[in-house]
Amino acid sequence: MTMSQANLEHLLSRRVLDMDASGIRRAFELGARLENPINLSIGQPHYPVPQVMKDAAIKAIRDDCNGYSLSGGIDALHEVVRGHLKHDLGWSTEDPEIGVIVTSGTSGALLLSAMALVDPGDEIIIPDPWFVIYPQLGPLTGARIVTCDTYPDFRMTAERIEPLITDRTKFILINSPGNPTGVVLDEGEMRDVAALCRDRGVQLVSDEIYDEFVFPESARPDGSCPSPGRHDQGTLVIRGFGKTYGCTGWRLGYAAGPNWLVDQMRKLQQFTFVCAPTPLQWGVVPAFDHDNSHQIEAYARRRDRVVEVLSPHTDVVVPGGAFYAFFEVPASLGIDASAFVERAVERRVLLVAGGVFSSRDTHVRLSFAVGEEILEEGLQAIAELLQGR
Ligand code: PMP
């Protein structure tokens, strides 16, 4: 006997019924139709995991490190993460008020932070355009999602956030370098956002999964990425290993910040994910010693090429980091981004329509985390489409 639609809706939670996955599904379906696609829709680097990390993960499996770890993560990884935070953000390795938790991907840290911070009816401020998980933190927790319109320059500044804060605001989520825009806030903007959150007593959560992908003109003089964590240790900094080291499938990230919050996230992890995959935690211990600056330089060159080819035909905000460009569909074409993406599919090019990441469907996300030849072929096709050819 099959369940009727009405019955299923009775059994399923409001939470899942309220989630709309059709945009992302559509992107996958379009791709599945193509035989030899020029795939510029991918959200992960195209290079392999460093050999030292593969070896460390394999060694851990061989050495029988296959059981649960402490729910907050293995000590060896905590040690290197704390060392990195000291070097990068100037955070003390000894300060008991700073907590670190190893999570199942950056996504795991985002979910745990939201679960630890909000009650139904509370408000979370997120950027528009957003990373796809952010709006879903609403149905997942019962919170109300308030979007911060960052068009046309995609900068989520204190000035834009301030009018959105109410007495129900619990936390503000920023993402720099940003997905889908590649925009990087500068040090002054970070300082202002951190100060605003501190003054108004709301928690700042900074999704820095692309922190290593920052191009020279957007980086600090020492090459590192601007972060509110340098201005306020009360910031919850969320970072990941997947993008930087090409191991998205390992599902490893971490959150670091005020221990009163990290401690609650640890408690939630104990009763949900239990711990992040143990052998793979061992796998990322050597990560911070690995220099992948040549990969980032290669992506900066691809970024230059994207801007060079597309900007004569449309508005494209120069990405300061990550590996995405978010370009506008010219009004002269008279179509929305979804229609543009369909046209691109006819030329075997896979892109993602802005409507997947935004309340507007006016822009298109292109990922340049691909080989140079593929990118070049895709760019030529997109340039022709932008000219209505
Ligand atoms: N945040 C942003 C901005 C992302 O782009 C992604 C991945 N696309 C994530 C978080 C999730 O990353 P992870 O695979 O580590 O869960």
240 lines ligand 1 (CB under 6 A): yes
Nearest-angstrom CA–CA distance, 115 and 124: 12
| Least-confidence region, from 17-21, 87-91, 258-262, 377-381 | 17-21
Nearest-angstrom CA–CA distance, 170 and 124: 6
- Of 111, 113, 131, 184, best ligand 1 pocket probe by most atoms within 8 Å of the beta carbon: 131
- Of 113, 176, 243, 357, best ligand 1 pocket probe by most atoms within 8 Å of the beta carbon: 243
pTM across the whole model: 0.96
Query: Any idea what DSSP says for residue 101?
Result: E
Place of tokens 């040690």: 79
pLDDT interval class at 25 (50, 70, 90): confident
Q: Over 90: is that where the pLDDT of 6 sits?
A: no
Q: What share of the chain has pLDDT > 90, as a percent?
A: 90
pLDDT interval class at 2 (50, 70, 90): low
Nearest-angstrom CA–CA distance, 141 and 173: 15
Residue-wise pLDDT tens digits, 248-298 = 999 999 999 999 999 999 999 999 999 999 999 999 999 999 999 999 999
Q: Over 90: is that where the pLDDT of 197 sits?
A: yes
Centre of ligand 1 from the C-alpha of residue 242, in Å? 8
At residue 5, the pLDDT reads 77
pLDDT interval class at 128 (50, 70, 90): very high
Instruction: Establish how many alpha carbons lie within 13 A of residue 233's alpha carbon, considering only the half-sphere containing its beta carbon.
Output: 17
Q: Is the peptide bond before 127 cis (omega within 30 degrees of 0)?
A: no
Written as six digits, the tokens of 33 are: 């139709």
113 lines ligand 1 (CB under 6 A): no
Nearest-angstrom CA–CA distance, 187 and 100: 23
Give the ranges where 223-277 is alpha helix by DSSP (H).
259-270
Centre of ligand 1 from the C-alpha of residue 215, in Å? 19
Q: Over 80: is that where the pLDDT of 22 sits?
A: no
What is the arithmetic mean of pLDDT over 363-376? 97
- Domain definitions of the chain by residue range: 9-48+292-386, 51-289
242 lines ligand 1 (CB under 6 A): yes
Q: Over 90: is that where the pLDDT of 93 sits?
A: no
Q: Please tell us whether the domain made up of 51-289 is placed in CATH 1.10.3210.10.
A: no
Q: Is the peptide bond before 221 cis (omega within 30 degrees of 0)?
A: no
Nearest-angstrom CA–CA distance, 192 and 74: 35
Nearest-angstrom CA–CA distance, 82 and 100: 8
- Of 44, 102, 106, best ligand 1 pocket probe by most atoms within 8 Å of the beta carbon: 106
Residue-wise pLDDT tens digits, 332-358 = 999 999 999 999 999 999 999 999 999
Give the ranges where the chain is alpha helix by DSSP (H).
5-11, 14-17, 22-32, 51-62, 75-89, 105-117, 133-141, 158-161, 187-200, 259-270, 278-284, 293-310, 337-346, 372-386
pLDDT interval class at 23 (50, 70, 90): confident
Looking at the CA of residue 131, tell me the nearest atom of ligand 1: 3
Query: Any idea what DSSP says for residue 17?
Result: H
Centre of ligand 1 from the C-alpha of residue 103, in Å? 12
Among 124, 122, 76, 89, CA closest to 256? 89
The closest residue, in CA terms, to atom 7 on ligand 1 is 43
107 lines ligand 1 (CB under 6 A): yes
Domain 9-48+292-386 class? alpha beta
What is the arithmetic mean of pLDDT over 85-91? 97
Centre of ligand 1 from the C-alpha of residue 373, in Å? 26
Among 95, 21, 30, CA closest to 349? 30
Beta-ladder partners of 149? 128
With beta carbons less than 8 A apart as the criterion, state whether 321 and 184 touch.
Answer: yes
Sheet holding 203-207, edge to edge: 98-104, 252-258, 236-240, 203-207, 169-175, 123-128, 144-149
What is the arithmetic mean of pLDDT over 93-113? 97
With beta carbons less than 8 A apart as the criterion, state whether 351 and 317 touch.
Answer: no
253 lines ligand 1 (CB under 6 A): yes
pLDDT interval class at 31 (50, 70, 90): confident
Averaged confidence pLDDT in the chain = 95
Centre of ligand 1 from the C-alpha of residue 136, in Å? 13
Centre of ligand 1 from the C-alpha of residue 106, in Å? 6
Q: Over 90: is that where the pLDDT of 86 sits?
A: yes
Centre of ligand 1 from the C-alpha of residue 256, in Å? 16
At residue 20, the pLDDT reads 80
Q: Over 90: is that where the pLDDT of 27 sits?
A: no
129 lines ligand 1 (CB under 6 A): no
Centre of ligand 1 from the C-alpha of residue 243, in Å? 8
39 lines ligand 1 (CB under 6 A): no
Centre of ligand 1 from the C-alpha of residue 42, in Å? 12
Centre of ligand 1 from the C-alpha of residue 137, in Å? 14
